[in-house]
């Protein structure tokens, strides 16, 4: 070997494969303003749509008069439910098995519901014409409190289904009842509670919030009447699902529906479902024969597209006096708004809420969820979480702190006492999941050591004494969150959307010169897929990541996939990518053996080449093999080097983490300052540490927003009181704390590369860490459970209630 021959380490480094802190290739265009978003799209003869929306939360529509709007110059059409009825498009199916109004039919059920769709030559004419559509309403009693939804005198909301005794998930208890869902052993759980030494019971509410992505929901629909083909560009997290839904709704054959999701400015679950704007733009384009663009404004996004959370969880834990947990019992009242439009897999009406046992070894548990309708916007999306996992983590982590307080036990020690142990994996939970792998005690101890947890507790005790002596007006809180998430939906035996199993896909093609194009069934909204998928392929196939192009979002070219949400990109599509690459590698091995004139079994893989066993100087690189694949393959082998894989995972993956938040609160002003936030994540195999850190930083910022003030608030008449960023908390760099990140690595045993996913984890774990810090600060004053969000005003009122103000 001469001095110029690259070493194995140099060859591996050149690939920029898994484990490399490779810079995001997407950022080149984004930082230069060269991204291509839906609203950048301009087609010939394109017109614009805008909605007439209801000022009422619950009202009967007496009359709609669009004559003045239609008389306005530049107005092309005004669509109402009456126009959509003959097409059977006035209602559309939801992902949850319900139906939702496209345009309000006979009555409105939430404020800002879509009543009519105005189409005009430009968006300003459309906006002016909206104000000319006259709608006469008859106000009806409003229901905003989910706890009153099933009262005997509650107003009937869904008149279209009021006579249905059975819903999508079983019998309905009331006209405003959506479903009842139960998991676990109720009899065994109740028996344990009757005999337990210690029990706690707490109502733990996770308020209604909103993903509020930087880019709002929007689309452009273009119907080619000559070809009978519909092209649809939009902010779609799952383009193939949208194509299938559009075909089912419109009757246009699916091969003639072309769905393209260009660059997307954030999704966070908000862009999974199908919204009335998409349907109305499609109908208008079909009717008019020209492209129609719909772009919602911020107030529309906050008030009418899918919300998140709104779970009210009555939580009970039974335990022994030494702190060993014995049983968990949870009842959830879920506020679904006007329609059940949750973005959950079909068979899971409450998503994966049965991960509520968390990281703890509960022998028995029972979970019951009741969904109800109210006069609020529909939704229930996986806002940076996998199908209600954030609610579940918040529930159990707050409950564990409540139990620790009742036992007068350190909350960290209580968790260590009850963790699932490493030797118990794979672990079958009391509520039906099989956890794949983990080492919870090691992660917890590493986190505690990193922040000097015992030292912080000693400091807190000293500050409490000083507070009682009147020497300080600040309280110190230490919030702990040790969460286990469930991601990677999912195995088709468990998970589907509208009957389509939740597999995912990858297609990899190596060109003769050794460069690669890979097409995926997922769709990035900022996660860095173009960077990380290329790294997986680079490690698998020995071709530098810079020579690999990733393409997503075009249903004409990408293999069918279920999209990106719930941290499923790496656990599902990442696995499909690795397995497609391995199919190619298997063929490449045969070509290499042919070129080296040896048996297939006499060559072995080494980073970027196949070598003859025992003779490493005899080799063929993957780029050499790629060239040969198009001109010199073994007899009987077809040319080319490409593969497709549809990966249906055998199980979910279970990332976990240990988060610690140290907070100081001024009791006189309610101002809470996050002194320190430490986040340790275990996401299995780490593909790109820099992107992981970016994901954690972003998710923690959203967790901070949710815990410390972000809430969709309604008054008693159903008016949304904070439908703009003037009133809805979006933290800036000024408010956002400094994040410390750390990790352990426990690979998933069933995933091809051992990866588990991390994009949702910081939101799942971050929210309870913040809330526990606030509650921990006030705990020694016997404040009881303090509900989120913990903004300055609410924390000031806690001090007022406790008599702390002069």
Residues carrying an active site annotation: 237, 384-385, 760
Alpha-carbon radius of gyration of the chain: 28
SS3 623: helix
Q: Tokens for 478, please give them.
A: 């230490």
Beta strands in 140-217 (DSSP E): 166-167, 170-171, 177-184, 198-209
Residues 6+ apart with CB under 8 A from 451: 660, 662, 676, 678
- By C-alpha distance, which of 791, 768, 13 is closest to 394? 768
Q: What is the Cα 655 distance to its own chain's centre? A: 14
The angle formed by the CA atoms of residues 478, 479 and 481, to the nearest 5 degrees, is 145
Spatial distance between the Cα atoms of 773 and 479, rounded to a whole number of angstroms: 4
Q: Tokens for 523, please give them.
A: 């769709």
| H helix or E strand, kind and range, residue 497 | strand 496-497
Residues 6+ apart with CB under 8 A from 443: 482, 656, 657, 658, 680, 682, 744
- By C-alpha distance, which of 7, 17, 12 is closest to 753? 17
Report whether 333 contacts 146 (CB < 8 A).
yes
Exposure string of 342-361, with b = 16+ CB inside 10 Å and e = fewer, is bbbbbebbbbbbbbbbbbbb
SS3 647: strand
Report whether 178 contacts 371 (CB < 8 A).
yes
Report whether 707 contacts 762 (CB < 8 A).
no
Phi-psi label, residue 66: left if phi above 0, alpha if psi -120 to 50, beta otherwise: alpha
Report whether 232 contacts 220 (CB < 8 A).
yes
Residues 6+ apart with CB under 8 A from 362: 325, 326, 327, 328, 429, 430
Spatial distance between the Cα atoms of 63 and 784, rounded to a whole number of angstroms: 51
Spatial distance between the Cα atoms of 613 and 619, rounded to a whole number of angstroms: 10
């Amino acid at each position: 070997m001469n001095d110029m021959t690259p070493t194995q380490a140099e060859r591996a480094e050149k690939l920029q494969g898994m484990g490399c802190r490779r810079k995001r290739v997407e950022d080149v265009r984004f930082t230069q303003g060269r991204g291509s978003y839906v609203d950048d799209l301009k087609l010939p003869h394109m017109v614009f749509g805008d909605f007439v929306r209801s000022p009422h939360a619950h009202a009967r529509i007496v009359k709609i008069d669009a004559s003045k709007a239609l008389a306005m110059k530049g107005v092309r059409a005004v669509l109402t439910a009456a126009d959509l009825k003959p097409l059977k498009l006035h209602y559309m199916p939801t992902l949850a098995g319900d139906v939702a109004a496209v345009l309000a039919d006979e009555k409105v059920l939430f404020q800002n519901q879509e009543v009519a769709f105005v189409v005009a030559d430009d968006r300003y004419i459309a906006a002016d014409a909206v104000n000319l559509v006259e709608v006469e309403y008859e106000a009806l009693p409003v229901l905003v409190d989910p706890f009153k939804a099933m009262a005997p005198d509650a107003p009937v909301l869904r008149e279209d289904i009021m006579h249905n005794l059975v819903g999508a998930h079983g019998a309905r208890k009331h006209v405003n009842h959506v479903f009842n869902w139960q998991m676990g052993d109720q009899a065994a759980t109740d028996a344990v509670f009757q005999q337990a030494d210690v029990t706690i019971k707490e109502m733990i509410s996770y308020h209604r919030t909103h993903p509020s992505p930087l880019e709002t929901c929007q689309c452009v629909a273009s119907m080619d009447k000559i070809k009978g083909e519909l092209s649809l560009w939009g902010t779609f997290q799952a383009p193939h699902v949208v194509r299938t839904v559009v075909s089912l709704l419109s009757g246009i054959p699916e091969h003639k529906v072309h769905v393209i999701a260009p660059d997307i400015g954030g999704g966070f679950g908000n862009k999974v479902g199908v919204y009335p704007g998409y349907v109305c733009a499609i109908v208008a384009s079909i009717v008019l024969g020209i492209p129609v663009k719909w772009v919602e404004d911020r107030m529309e996004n906050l008030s009418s597209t899918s919300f998140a959370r709104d779970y009210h969880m009555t939580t009970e834990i039974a335990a022994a006096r030494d702190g060993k947990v014995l049983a968990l019992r949870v009842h959830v009242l879920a506020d679904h708004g006007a329609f059940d439009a949750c973005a959950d897999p079909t068979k899971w009406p409450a998503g994966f809420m049965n991960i509520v046992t968390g990281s703890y070894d509960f022998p028995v548990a029972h979970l019951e969820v009741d969904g109800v309708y109210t006069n609020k916007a529909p939704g229930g999306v996986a806002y940076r979480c996998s199908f209600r996992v954030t609610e579940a983590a918040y529930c159990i982590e707050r409950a564990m702190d409540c139990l620790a307080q009742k036992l007068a036990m350190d909350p960290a020690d209580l968790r260590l006492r009850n963790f699932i142990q490493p030797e118990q994996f794979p672990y079958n939970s009391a509520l039906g999941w099989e956890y794949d792998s983990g080492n919870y005690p090691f992660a917890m101890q590493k986190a505690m050591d990193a922040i000097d947890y015992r030292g912080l507790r000693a400091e807190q005790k000293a500050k409490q004494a000083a507070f009682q002596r009147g020497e300080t007006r600040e309280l110190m809180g230490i919030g702990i969150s040790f969460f286990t998430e469930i991601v990677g939906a999912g195995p088709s035996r468990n998970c589907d959307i509208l009957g389509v199993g939740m597999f995912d896909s990858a297609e990899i093609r190596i060109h003769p010169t050794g460069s690669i194009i890979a097409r995926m069934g997922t769709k990035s909204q900022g996660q860095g897929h173009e960077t990380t998928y290329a790294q997986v392929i680079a490690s698998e196939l020995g071709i530098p990541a810079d020579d690999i192009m990733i393409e997503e979002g075009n249903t004409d070219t990408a293999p069918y996939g279920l999209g990106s949400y719930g941290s499923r990109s790496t656990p599902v599509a990442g696995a499909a990518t690795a397995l497609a690459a391995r199919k190619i590698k298997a063929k490449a091995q045969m070509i290499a053996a042919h070129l080296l004139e040896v048996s297939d079994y006499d060559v072995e893989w080494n980073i970027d080449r196949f070598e003859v066993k025992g003779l490493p100087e005899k080799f063929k690189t993957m780029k050499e093999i790629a060239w040969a694949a198009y001109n010199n393959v073994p007899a009987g082998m077809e040319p080319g080097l490409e593969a497709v894989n549809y990966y249906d995972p055998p199980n979910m993956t279970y990332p976990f983490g240990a988060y610690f938040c140290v907070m100081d609160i001024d009791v006189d002003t309610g101002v809470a300052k996050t002194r320190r936030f430490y986040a340790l994540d275990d996401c299995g195999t780490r593909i790109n540490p820099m992107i992981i850190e970016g994901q954690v930083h972003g998710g923690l910022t959203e967790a901070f927003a949710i815990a410390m003030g972000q809430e969709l608030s309604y008054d008693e008449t159903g008016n949304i009181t904070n439908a703009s960023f003037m009133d809805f908390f979006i933290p800036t760099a000024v408010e956002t704390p400094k994040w410390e990140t750390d990790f352990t690595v426990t690979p998933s045993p069933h995933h091809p590369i051992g990866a588990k996913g991390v994009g949702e984890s910081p939101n799942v774990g971050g929210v309870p860490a913040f809330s526990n810090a606030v509650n921990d600060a006030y705990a020694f004053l016997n404040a009881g459970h303090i509900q989120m969000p913990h903004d300055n005003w609410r924390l000031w009122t806690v001090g007022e209630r406790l008599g702390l103000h002069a």
